[in-house]
Structure 1
């Protein structure tokens, strides 16, 4: 609080009622807000200048603003705080962010999250996608060994939009095959997971996401769809196809796609609780589920807040 604001506060003390004076004494005698302190500990930083990416050595203390320490960069002479350049910049009520992180862990609805945090449902909705914006980009960058890949589908949804580009379906209706969004899930045996929303389920789009992801000496394991044979030939990857339609589940005791299929099953079961996800937010929900899988029983509200800030720990630390 600035000196002028503090002087103004002191000037208003004379107008307090007896009950208000009692409440103020109680607030002053109580211990500091642990939620605020906990959030402040997570918001330490920034480690680099968010404007010019200069290293931390170029950042110098530059006072405080709105309860956050500001830093000034000697390279670009611009100031910043721990939220500058992050999806959480300019959001208010920071003392409730950890409580909202717990709501993400529990996977409750927007209304339930708003009620638990004491905010409006519209605020809870905005927070959900601000918190998930950076987490949606946190996927495995390299996978090796035996890498399983399989596609899963989500019905295209215009949930929340007033104007639809097609006739409305009945609740829980079934759309045509062209109304399904293909998501390619790629997972190796160490648990590294990446998923990609595909504009089209063909060899060109699949190869474009697999080529930079899978190590050259890895073995790609898929079902018997012909598109993956073309992908393996184009990318030069060793390929083992599992003919699931003929009842084959495992080849040579090691090659199967049960790992990625199990992940698909958990994803579909988890996402069912939201009663339909708008397609434009689908990638946020995919990132949300990947975050839950990475931390598993070690997930915490502080970890959710770090993910929302884009401070991703190394993958080795988040696997179990």
Structure 2
């Protein structure tokens, strides 16, 4: 029950009598309440936009109290079932939506996201809870609309070392080498600790990530299955219209794409004097995106390759300036 106006005024007047420790405690309580209120607002905004019943699609509804987490509940005028803004969404079974929103803000807003352990300590949660929430966000954002590219289009690849973080392959093989097959490669730390010779160049353990950008601001990161030119062609062909100008390095795949589609192709080198042609043709925008990708991915110390698409999509949302509400509404 909300405070009456005069009671609220008395409450404000009493703040002048608080000592520093009490003021700190009050600030913490108010911060937590604000966090919960913001989370409720984001979830209820989803219900206001999508007024249909998640069970039968009926638009007629009436307010039907509030949930345990103070979110407005509705009763469907058709099937008579009750629902809220969380029903049918990816965050429907999260018991602390306020803390989930904090995790989501940390992922999307700010200079550098906190590690799972640091964020869990900050919120008083188990590190595995924060990790599951990040994986849930990955499942929400995995579907995307491919941007339309036009004009001068830059394309190049960067590479991410293959990672099996969390895998028990090496441990199981060491424990039972007769029945458990050996992993396909040594652990990366074994190359240092055991003095193994590191594989040089772009081996199959370097995963290619195609980066495409145009001068209008459209950008795309896409992990490729392998280094084959045909794989590159299949990925690039739908992205480059016939009236565009393709700028790339001298990789054969790009030349084949341009010749097959009758596209103007400008080949650029890496040595001084060959990086820019005619004053406007270059691939400096995608090189900048590569630098931002490396800076973003470095704190995660080589994420497991099975989750790499999620990290790539996460970076795309950060570069696009996405807000937590955009993710919640898409769930």
- What interval of TM-score do these two structures reach, taking the shorter chain for normalisation? 0.7 to 0.9
Matched, 1:37 2:33: no
TM-score under structure 2 length normalisation: 0.72
Specify the alignment match of 1:207 in structure 2: 233
Task: Count matched residues.
Answer: 276
TM-score under structure 1 length normalisation: 0.74
Matched, 1:159 2:159: no
SS at match of 1:221: strand
Change (3 A) 1:204 1:50: farther
SS at match of 1:33: helix
**CA positional deviation for 1:95:** 1.7
2:189 to 157, 160, 171: 171
Superposed counterparts of 1:2-151, under 5 Å: 33-43=33-43, 44-46=45-47, 47-48=49-50, 49=52, 58=59, 60-61=61-62, 63=64, 64-67=66-69, 68-71=71-74, 80-104=83-107, 105=109, 106-138=112-144, 140-151=146-157
Change (3 A) 1:151 1:80: farther
Question: Rg: which structure is higher?
Answer: 2
Change (3 A) 1:76 1:199: farther
SS at match of 1:58: coil
CA distance in 1 between counterparts of 2:101 and 2:296 reads: 22
C-alpha contact (below 8 Å) 2:211/2:220 kept by paired residues: yes
Q: Deviations over 1:100-143 (max 9, x none)?
A: 23432431111011111221000011111212333343464212
Change (3 A) 1:238 1:50: farther
C-alpha contact (below 8 Å) 1:87/1:309 kept by paired residues: no
CA distance in 1 between counterparts of 2:123 and 2:316 reads: 24
Change (3 A) 1:239 1:88: farther
Superposition CA RMSD, Å: 3.2
Q: Deviations over 1:265-294 (max 9, x none)?
A: 111122111111100111111112112211
Change (3 A) 1:145 1:86: farther
CA distance in 1 between counterparts of 2:264 and 2:56 reads: 39
C-alpha contact (below 8 Å) 2:56/2:78 kept by paired residues: no
Specify the alignment match of 2:174 in structure 1: none
1:265 to 284, 291, 306: 291
CA distance in 1 between counterparts of 2:81 and 2:283 reads: 51
Gaps in structure 2 of 5+ consecutive residues: 1-24, 171-182, 192-197
C-alpha contact (below 8 Å) 2:237/2:257 kept by paired residues: no
C-alpha contact (below 8 Å) 2:62/2:76 kept by paired residues: no
CA distance in 1 between counterparts of 2:62 and 2:240 reads: 43
C-alpha contact (below 8 Å) 1:70/1:80 kept by paired residues: yes
